[in-house]
Amino acid sequence: MENLKSVEEIKKLMGIEDERIKTWQQLREVIVKSQKPNLAMLTDFYEFTMSQAFFKAGDKTKKVYFDVFFRSNPFDGGYTINGGLEDIIKFISEFHYNDADIEYLREKGLDPEFLEYLRVLRFNGDMWAIPEGTPIFPNEPVITIRANIIEAQLLESLILAYFNQGSLIATSAKRITNAAREIPTSDFGLRRGHGEGVINGSKYAIIGGCASTSNTLTGELYDVKISGTMAHDLVQFYGNDYDAFMHYAKGNPNNCVFLVDTFDTLKLGVPAAIRVAQEFLIPNGYPFIGIRIDSGDLAYLSKEARKQLDEAGFTDAKIFLTNGLNEQKINSLKQQGACFDAIGAGDNVLAPKERMNGVYKLVAVEENNKIVPRIKISNDYVKITNPGYKKVYRFYDRKTGYALGDVVALADELIPHDYYTLVSPIEEWKKTELHDYEVEELQVPIFQGGQLVYDIPTVEERAKYCADKFTTLYPEVKRDINPHEYYVDLSMKLLQLKKELLMQYSENVEEVQVNGKQI
Strand 80-81 and strand 135-136: the pairing is antiparallel
CB atoms within 10 A of CB 177: 27
Question: Is the confidence at residue 4, as pLDDT, over 50?
Answer: no
- pLDDT at residue 31, as a whole number: 62
Spatial CB neighbours of 507, under 8 Å, sequence gap ≥ 6? none
100, amino acid identity: A
Nearest one of 43, 164, 180, 48 to 110, comparing CA atoms: 48
CA dihedral for 8, 13, 14, 18, sign (positive or negative): positive
- Residue range 41-174+354-509 forms a domain whose CATH class is alpha beta
* Separation of alpha carbons 490 and 488, rounded Å: 7
Mean of all residue pLDDT scores within the chain: 92
Name the band, by pLDDT with cuts 50, 70 and 90, for residue 417: confident
- Domain segments of the chain as ranges: 2-35, 41-174+354-509
Beta strands in 156-242 (DSSP E): 185-187, 212-213
CA-CA-CA-CA dihedral for 160, 390, 362, 44, to nearest 10: -10
Query: 217 — phi, psi (to 5°)?
Result: -65, -40
Question: Is the confidence at residue 1, as pLDDT, over 60?
Answer: no
Number of residues that this document lists for the chain: 519
* Separation of alpha carbons 26 and 29, rounded Å: 5
For 1-15, 118-132, 144-158, 159-173, which range has the lowest pLDDT when averaged over its residues? 1-15
> What is the side-by-side order of every strand in the sheet holding 126-129?
370-373, 358-367, 63-70, 143-148, 126-129, 444-448, 451-452
Name the band, by pLDDT with cuts 50, 70 and 90, for residue 19: confident
- pLDDT at residue 518, as a whole number: 42
Stretch 431-442: mean pLDDT, rounded?
93
Cβ-count burial 300-337 (b if 16+ within 10 Å, e if not): ebbbebbebbeebebeebbbbbbeebbbebbeebeeee
- pLDDT at residue 296, as a whole number: 97
Name the band, by pLDDT with cuts 50, 70 and 90, for residue 128: very high
**189 touches 351 (CB < 8 A):** yes
**Alpha-carbon distances, residue 26 vs 3, 16, 29, 32, 119 (angstroms):** 13, 12, 5, 10, 22
CA angle (412 as vertex; 407, 415 as ends), nearest 5:
45
Q: How many helices (H) and strands (E) does the chain have?
A: 18, 23
- 436 by DSSP, 3-state: which? coil
* Separation of alpha carbons 402 and 473, rounded Å: 6
Query: 390 — phi, psi (to 5°)?
Result: -130, 165
Question: Is the confidence at residue 2, as pLDDT, over 70?
Answer: no
Tell me which DSSP letter residue 269 carries: I
Name the band, by pLDDT with cuts 50, 70 and 90, for residue 429: confident
For 176-185, 313-322, 346-355, which range has the lowest pLDDT when averaged over its residues? 346-355
pLDDT, tens digit, 9 for 90 and up, residues 461-519: 999 999 999 999 999 999 999 999 999 999 999 999 999 999 887 766 554 443 444 43
Residue 417 or residue 74, greater confidence: 74
Stretch 299-303: mean pLDDT, rounded?
98
**Alpha-carbon distances, residue 380 vs 71, 130, 210, 377 (angstroms):** 12, 27, 37, 8
